[in-house]
Structure formats: structure tokens, C-alpha cells
């Protein structure tokens, strides 16, 4: 049953062909059996899951269920979950049990979804490989010697290995789309403000956005329909009606204009991935899409701008972890300064420390104008490039990553190479635009992802194109051989 999508499981549950309790118990057993090989989960919650599954079956029997009722899901361990450890992949929060649910967790639970547990992630979402986690790296189910991508690597790996039908993630510079590409699944980053950030532990507040990781675009549409919407508890939440994302999936692509940024198809792109994306373009042409080369002239500045803005915001956000109110506290501090220094020094990992130091530097007196202010100006130029492009095209298409999943420890001593794995994704975060990565094939046995980016609140259009492509291909149906059902 683990090959079923969320949409298919919904039909089986609503028709009472299976029960949520039976389905949940099967997923729990699968996670307990196989996650020792992948390290996808930081915390499993079998007792809670079975309680929620029983309640879901009762709702289905009473006729008050929704489309997602009874379906198991996993949450990235950046979302606060009431009475469950919420660690953000860090030693700093290894002992933190959240007293409330994040809005995303709350909305999916209210829809009747079943929480299997909390997934592994780069510490405080800072990383592109899931190797900065205090709990060790999650592994890629296609090759356990390789990374699943990050920071939502645990969620992506779990969905790819069919340990769960869908999972939540967050995307600050590509942290949903990049691991989705490396694990061969679908990952959607919504428009900034479309999904509430309340209860989502902050890394870079003007960039972070929650979204779904699933097998298919249809599943992503189902989850987004519940996750999205205004939340008065989040000052960045946009008060705008939520589209019926599933209703537009069947629209034909005749005449839709898709832009191909010439900056995305250069020497930085692995030739196999370039060939793969060109094959996908041919399929979309056969579906009626029209293609046009476009320019995003400031896109090469995305990485340097991002790695000024994001660390600056992280430096501010992580100031709250001081060893006083909650989280890790060092033993026997001499005074308040010693408490601060040792609590942070002993509990933050190297990448988090690096970004805090960079952020503090670029915000400091004498450097703010030279670095942070300039980065914000570049951010506006990048946004303007996209708006100019969307005057000519409906959607922008390109690769999600410049390479397939790299080996464990391959880039850990080379931060710049690690950062460049997000070269095609960070611009959407800087501009606040939606983007989706979908499986488009394989290179040397490893998944390749194709990225679609749209104008603000155009998630329906992205999901429509992704769904139509998936109707013509079966890349999204592929399961790593070791994790296929026997």
C-alpha cells in the first residue's frame, strides 16, 4: 500500500476500503523497520498517531471527514508540535517540548491528518545537505552514501522511501525544492506569506516559507489547500482567499508561455541535467506549451545577496537562545556573560556559528551600508528582473539543482560549493515568489529535478503544469529499489 499517493489513499479511506488505524499502524511498522537505515526521523510519535487515526476513522464513519482525514503525515522538526520535542535539529533545543502547535500543524490536524513524527533537518534550517543536524545526517534512499539535500532532507528522504505519503518542509533558499530534486519527489515553496509562519522556528524571517513535500503535484495541491490561508497570529501572513488548487490541475497547457532563463543553462549546469531538462521541455511542448528564452540579468547575484541577508536575519533571530529562558544551558556558569557564551558555544554547530558571525558582521556599525543595505538593493533588482520576465511569459522553467545528490562529506569543508547547490532556487526566496520542483528523470541512477517558478500567488498555475507533465511521465512513481514493497 505504500506506493499509493495521498489522493489514492484518500479515496481508499473515504470508501472504507481501509481504515486509518490499519494504515497508520502499517506506516509506523515501516518507519520503525526502515528508518534505522535512513535517519529520516528525529522523533516518532506512534501513540499519538494511533489516537489520531482512531479519531479519523470515527469522523469517516460519521460522514464529517475531509479529503485528508486519516492520512499519515510527518512534520519537519522546525514546526512546533504541542507536547512533542521540537529540536530544529540542534543541541540547543534537544530538550525543548513545544507548548503549542504551529498553525501548519494545527490546520493539518484539524483536517484529520495523522502525525507520524518529526523529521530530521539541518540545524536551524542552515544547510543544503542535512549534514549539520545534531542528530546526524539523513541519507538519500537512492544511494545511502549521498545526501538527501537540505534543509528539509529528512522529510524528502522519508517521502522518497515511502515511509510516509507526504511531509511538511520549509524553504528559505531552496530547502524544499532542492531536497525534493535530489530525492526524486515533488516539493512546493508557496508565495511568501501564503502559509503561516506562526510556530515555525525562525531562521531568516523575510525568506522562510512552509510548504509540502509529496509524491505528486496533485498531492501537493491537496496539502496546500489546507496549509494556506491568512493567520492573524503571523504579521507576514497575507489576507487573501485560498485558491482551489486541485480544481485547476486538469487545465490544458495550450498556449501557456514558459520562459527559459539563459542564465540557468550555462557552464555551471551538469550536462546530463541539461539534457534531461531539454527532454522535459519537449514533453511540455507536446502538451501545447510555448517556450521563449528570457533573461534574469541579476540572477548571478542571488547567492552573494542571500548569504548576506539570511545570516543577518539569523543573527537577530538566534539571539533569543541565551541559556536563560529555554533550551540548552551550560553547567556552572561563572556569570551572565559566561552563561551566554558557553551555552551558545556548546550547543550551536559550526554552520550556525558561521552564519551568526557573518550576520553580526554585516549588521555592525560601519558595515551595514556596505553589505546589508547593498544586498537589499540587489534583492529589489532580482525582484524587478522577475517582474519584467512575467510581462512576457506565464511561468519560468529551469533545473532545480546544478548537480544530482553529492556524496556525504563531499562539500562539508567547502562552504562555498555547498552554498552553490542552491544557485537556481534562492532567487525565488529573495523575490518572495512560488516555485515547485518535480522529478524529471535520472542521471547515473540519481534523481533529477525540474523547477517551475511563477508570479505571486500563481501556485495553481505551477501545480497545473506539474500535474500535466506528470500525466505524461512516470518519474514521480519511481521508488528506490531497496524500499519497494516485497
Inter-residue contact 455 to 428 (CB < 8 Å): no
3-class SS string, 301-328: HHHHHHHHHHHHHHHHHHHHCCCCCCCC
What is the rounded distance in angstroms from the CA atom of residue 130 to the CA atom of residue 120?
Answer: 8
| 151 preceded by a cis bond (ω within 30 of 0) | yes
Q: Mark whether 151 is an active-site residue.
A: yes
Q: Mark whether 157 is an active-site residue.
A: no
Contacts of 379 (CB under 8 A, 6+ apart): 305, 309, 430, 431
Q: Mark whether 91 is an active-site residue.
A: no
φ, ψ dihedrals at 411, nearest 5°? -115, 5
What is the rounded distance in angstroms from the CA atom of residue 240 to the CA atom of residue 229?
Answer: 7
DSSP E strand boundaries for 3-129: 41-44, 72-76, 114-119
- Going from the C-alpha of 210 to that of each of 81, 83, 456, 465, the distances in angstroms are 15, 21, 15, 21
> Which of the following is catalytic: 10, 151, 196, 421?
151
> Which of the following is catalytic: 76, 118, 189, 461?
76
Strand ranges across the sheet with 186-189: 41-44, 114-119, 72-76, 166-170, 210-214, 186-189, 435-443, 446-454, 395-399, 257-261, 290-294
What is the rounded distance in angstroms from the CA atom of residue 197 to the CA atom of residue 195?
Answer: 6
C-alpha cell at 292: 521563449
Return the closest-CA partner of residue 182 out of 402, 397, 2. 402
φ, ψ dihedrals at 447, nearest 5°? -65, 150
> Which of the following is catalytic: 81, 133, 155, 175?
175
What is the rounded distance in angstroms from the CA atom of residue 209 to the CA atom of residue 301?
Answer: 21
Angle between helices 6-14 and 217-227 (to 10 degrees): 70
Kindly list the catalytic residues: 76, 151, 175
Amino acid at each position: 500500500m505504500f506506493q499509493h499517493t495521498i489522493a489514492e489513499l484518500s479515496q481508499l479511506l473515504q470508501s472504507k476500503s481501509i481504515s486509518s488505524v490499519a494504515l497508520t499502524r502499517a506506516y509506523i511498522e515501516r518507519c520503525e523497520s526502515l528508518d534505522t537505515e535512513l535517519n529520516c526521523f528525529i522523533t516518532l510519535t506512534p501513540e499519538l498517531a494511533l489516537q489520531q487515526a482512531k479519531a479519523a476513522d470515527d469522523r469517516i464513519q460519521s460522514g464529517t471527514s475531509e479529503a485528508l482525514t486519516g492520512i499519515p503525515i510527518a512534520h519537519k522538526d522546525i514546526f512546533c508540535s504541542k507536547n512533542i520535542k521540537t529540536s530544529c535539529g540542534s543541541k540547543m533545543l534537544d530538550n525543548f517540548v513545544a507548548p503549542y502547535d504551529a498553525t501548519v500543524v494545527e490546520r493539518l490536524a484539524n483536517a484529520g491528518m495523522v502525525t507520524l513524527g518529526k523529521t530530521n533537518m539541518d540545524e536551524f534550517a542552515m544547510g543544503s545537505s542535512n549534514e549539520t543536524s545534531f542528530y546526524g545526517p539523513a541519507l538519500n534512499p537512492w544511494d545511502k552514501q549521498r545526501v538527501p539535500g537540505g534543509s528539509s532532507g529528512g522529510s524528502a528522504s522519508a517521502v522518497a522511501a515511502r515511509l510516509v505519503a507526504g511531509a511538511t518542509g520549509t524553504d528559505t533558499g531552496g530547502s524544499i525544492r532542492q531536497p525534493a530534486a535530489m530525492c526524486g519527489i515533488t516539493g512546493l515553496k508557496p508565495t511568501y506569506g501564503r502559509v503561516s509562519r506562526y510556530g515555525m522556528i525562525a531562521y531568516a524571517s523575510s525568506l522562510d516559507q512552509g510548504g509540502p513535500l509529496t509524491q505528486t503535484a496533485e498531492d501537493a495541491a491537496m496539502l496546500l489547500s489546507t496549509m494556506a490561508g491568512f493567520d492573524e497570529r503571523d504579521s507576514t501572513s497575507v489576507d487573501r482567499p485560498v485558491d482551489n488548487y486541485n480544481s485547476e490541475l486538469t487545465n490544458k497547457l495550450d498556449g501557456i508561455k514558459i520562459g527559459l532563463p539563459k542564465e540557468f543553462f550555462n557552464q555551471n549546469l551538469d550536462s546530463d541535467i541539461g539534457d534531461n531538462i531539454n527532454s522535459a521541455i519537449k514533453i511540455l511542448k507536446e502538451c501545447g506549451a510555448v517556450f521563449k528564452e528570457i533573461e534574469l540579468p541579476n540572477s548571478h547575484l542571488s547567492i552573494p545577496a542571500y548569504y548576506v541577508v539570511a545570516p543577518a536575519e539569523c543573527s537577530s533571530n538566534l539571539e533569543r537562545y541565551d541559556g536563560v529562558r529555554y533550551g540548552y544551558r551550560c553547567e556552572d556558569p561563572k556569570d551572565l556573560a559566561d552563561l551566554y557564551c558557553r551555552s551558545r558555544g556548546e550547543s550551536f554547530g559550526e554552520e550556525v556559528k558561521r552564519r551568526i558571525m557573518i550576520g553580526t558582521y554585516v549588521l555592525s556599525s560601519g558595515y551595514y551600508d556596505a553589505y546589508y543595505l547593498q544586498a537589499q538593493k540587489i534583492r529589489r533588482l532580482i525582484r524587478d528582473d522577475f517582474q519584467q520576465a512575467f510581462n512576457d511569459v506565464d511561468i519560468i522553467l529551469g533545473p532545480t539543482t546544478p548537480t544530482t545528490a553529492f556524496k556525504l562529506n563531499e562539500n562539508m569543508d567547502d562552504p562555498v560549493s555547498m552554498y552553490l547547490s542552491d544557485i537556481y532556487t534562492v532567487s525565488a526566496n529573495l523575490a518572495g515568489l512560488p516555485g515547485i520542483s518535480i522529478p524529471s528523470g535520472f542521471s547515473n541512477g540519481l534523481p533529477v529535478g525540474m523547477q517551475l517558478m511563477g508570479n505571486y500567488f500563481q501556485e495553481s498555475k505551477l501545480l497545473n503544469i506539474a500535474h500535466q507533465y506528470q500525466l505524461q511521465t512516470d518519474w514521480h512513481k519511481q521508488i528506490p529499489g531497496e524500499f519497494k514493497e516485497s
